[in-house]
Amino acid sequence: MNHKPTGLNGWRVRHWVAAIGAALLVTLTPLSYIQWKQFSLIEDVAVNQIDSIMWQSYQLERELSHLSSAIQVSLEPGAVLDVDHLVERYEVFVSRIAVVTDIPRNDLLNTTPAYLEAIRLVNAFVLEADPVFADTGELLQQRTARQALVRSIEQIEPALGELTREANRATARFVDERNAQLREQGGLVIALAGVQAGVLLLFVALLVRHLRRQVVQYEKLQAVSHELAVAKDEAEAANHGKSVFLANMSHEIRTPFQGVMGMLNLLDETRLSSQQRDFVQTARDSAQHLLGVLNDILDVSTMESGTLRLAPEPVSLRALTQEVESLMRATAREKGLALDVETAPDLPDWVMADPTRVRQIMFNLLGNAVKFTNEGSVTARLSRLEGTPGGVCLTVQDTGMGMDAATVAQLFTRFYQADNSIRRRIGGSGLGLEISRNLANMMGGTIDVSSEVDQGSLFTVHMILPETAAPAQQMPSSGHTDPSRQLRVLVAEDHPINLKYMNILLDRMGHEAVFCENGQEALQLLARQRFDVVLLDYHMPVLDGLAATAAIRALDGPSKDIKVVLVTADVVNDTRKKALDVGVNEFASKPLQAQDLQRALQRCGLLDAATMLVNDPVPVLEAAAPEPDELNTSAAGLIDTESYTEIVAMMPPDTMDELLGTLFEPPEGSVHVLLASLAAGDAAQIAYDAHKLKGTAMLLGFRALVRTSAQIERLAPEDNPTLRRELGNQLLVDKERTQLALQQFALTVPA
């Protein structure tokens, strides 16, 4: 583990650095100054050439001696006078005068009596000799003039000798002074070096002390690190245990839910009185609510563990919005609210998104808006987010009770309840907004809210959903599968209610089912019998779904290649990967619905895409009117009589007839418009007309038409003329059956 110096440790490190820097500054600054002074002294000697003072004085004395010798030679009897040689010697002597007087650092000599006397005599000699050497024709030829110069030279020579000696003494004094300075500076250097050594020793001692403390701290940190590692391992183990617990609890709770909801769905299709049907609907609503709370808790737990992942795919935002609107409209209508959900014209047709999670955000926000609005309207709009590539903006505005600033500040806090009385009266787990915000963040966006008490609320969601092309349409089946094929299905399920529900479900779908309670029994049955597909529950005793799949793939013979569909309510994200790794072909979620199972069998290649959902098999029309018992059974399966009765009671007869005409009457009736779209083959128009028919049929409680139109909407992208023809036939049959049931139902309703 890496530990950065923070707090007190950081303060100590900074002060250590400052102290060392100050000590180095104090000791090195004088040393640097002394070194600079020594360099200056050496440079002064080199530049000014102090030792040349004596040499130049000696040169002046020597050149005067050469001049004297040359003149004396010219005075000897019989000597030949060499005028040029005499002039040359004189000029050399004169040049040496300037060297002595102008030499660098002549301040060491020019104040001495010897220098002053010598220079005076030399200057007087020059005044005397210049006329002589200037007139080489007469004066220099005169013997008496040369003799006078010799006498003058004899007077100067002692003074120049004394000047040379004085220059020697001056040089010696200068050297002594420089040596004294160097000795003094050397002493200072030694003293400062000693001080520096002492300071360094002190710092070494302090550093050793500090290092010892660091070693102690390091050992403590190592111990803490070890404790943290142990705690981390324990936390990971606890998190793994939590994941396992969530998986088990998801299974243990959702498994009986499958039985409860499945049986409620089956019970709703039997002959029930209005009161009984109300009881069933209440029970189903309660079960759905409880399942929603469970899903919220599991979603939050999955987000906490960091294992929640989005599954983006091409999504039509308009179709998704229409789906949410159709499901929310009934709830809004029950409260007398106006619900307006619209999509902007410039919204992309297809985007890459996780449709489940986008739908979850929309349901949460619209559901809250409807829930907390007693009168007025709820308006939702989906549009592009300007200035952001791939940005989509969802706004949900209501005219409800609104919130104050304190409530808005705590709105996304888990389990936060602004008003306990309202929460108890309206309900809610307090998790939906937190989940929605986290999902929006995962999609690269945010959720903002503005609200005022009694003025309603406005929620704004930003999401990054990149635009994409429409998904490629699936090719029609090659014909190797039979749309009416009966499958032999092996079902491994340990819950008795689910066994009963799946038995009824598979029977209605027209398949033969064999049941067992665990994976081990499934293996034994596969060894003795032939099956087309195996439905395995994920959590089972003896041998669970994953272990059973691995054992199936290890078998010898054709059974090892059988299609395996895993039925699970597990929300742990790596379940799908583990299942695919051991050889699972497809998945179906709990609570298991006929549509989900049908799609899984279709993706396994066991059924053609044209296969109809046979929980309401295609009937054969009879010319004669049904008997009363048949009528009641038919109406229960085709019409939600309670919903239809409520609609009839609310509307005048002429309005009701007009509404039914918009549904059934050719050529403008919704059914006939959809039939025409199916014949034309325009996938987008088919989906739109089917969605429109589905909404009207849901409003009137026409169950068969809802099922068929929903199936047509879902299969609209399929470019399969045979499938569309069969769907049209099914729609026509459901229309005729529904109209017939309406006629018979009207006869039984008191005027």
Domain residue spans of the chain: 10-227, 317-464, 488-603, 628-748
Query: Distance between CA atoms of 383 and 343, rounded to whole angstroms?
Result: 6
Query: Distance between CA atoms of 283 and 122, rounded to whole angstroms?
Result: 139
Which SS3 state, helix, strand or coil, does residue 702 take?
strand
Q: How many CB atoms lie within 10 A of CB 212?
A: 10
**Whether the model pTM is above 0.85:** no
Q: How many CB atoms lie within 10 A of CB 742?
A: 18
Per-residue pLDDT at 244: 60
Task: Give domain 628-748's CATH superfamily.
Answer: HPT domain (1.20.120.160)
Peptide bond before 104: cis, by omega within 30 degrees of 0?
Answer: no
Per-residue pLDDT at 648: 75
Per-residue pLDDT at 644: 77
Locate all alpha helices (DSSP H) within 269-353, ordered by sequence: 274-305, 317-334
Q: How many CB atoms lie within 10 A of CB 566?
A: 27
How far are the Cα atoms of 534, 556, 570, 579 from residue 546, in angstroms, in the given order?
Answer: 12, 18, 12, 6
| CATH 3.90.1150.10 given to domain 488-603 | no
Q: Is 682 exposed, middle or buried (0-12, 13-18, 19+ CB in 10 A)?
A: middle
Per-residue pLDDT at 483: 47
pLDDT along the chain (751 residues), means of 10: 48 64 69 66 52 76 86 82 84 84 74 86 87 78 83 87 83 78 77 78 84 88 89 77 62 65 73 72 69 65 67 87 80 82 88 88 88 89 88 91 82 59 47 82 89 89 90 49 71 72 80 90 90 87 88 87 83 71 85 77 76 38 35 56 69 73 84 90 86 74 84 86 88 88 67 45
Which residues in 599-636 are b (16+ Cβ under 10 Å) and which e?
A: bbbbebebbbbbbbbbbbeeeeeeeeebeeeebbbbbb
**Contact present, 323 and 398 (Cβ < 8 Å):** no
Q: Considering just the CA atoms, what is the radius of gyration of the chain in Å? A: 55
In the 8-state DSSP scheme, what is residue 472?
P
**Contact present, 626 and 747 (Cβ < 8 Å):** no
Name the CA dihedral angle for 317, 285, 702, 505, rounded to a multiple of 10 degrees. 90
Residues 6+ apart with CB under 8 A from 125: 149, 152, 153, 156
Per-residue pLDDT at 303: 63
Peptide bond before 5: cis, by omega within 30 degrees of 0?
Answer: no
- Give the CA angle between residues 572, 577, 583 to the nearest 5°: 125
Query: Distance between CA atoms of 63 and 127, rounded to whole angstroms?
Result: 17
Per-residue pLDDT at 563: 92
Residue with token string 């969530």: 246
Query: Distance between CA atoms of 434 and 578, rounded to whole angstroms?
Result: 29
Residues 6+ apart with CB under 8 A from 416: 410, 430
Query: Distance between CA atoms of 351 and 313, rounded to whole angstroms?
Result: 8
Phi-psi region of 611 (alpha: psi -120 to 50; beta: other; left: phi over 0): beta
Q: Which CATH class is domain 317-464?
A: alpha beta
User: How far from the centroid of its chain's Cα atoms is residue 365's Cα?
Assistant: 25
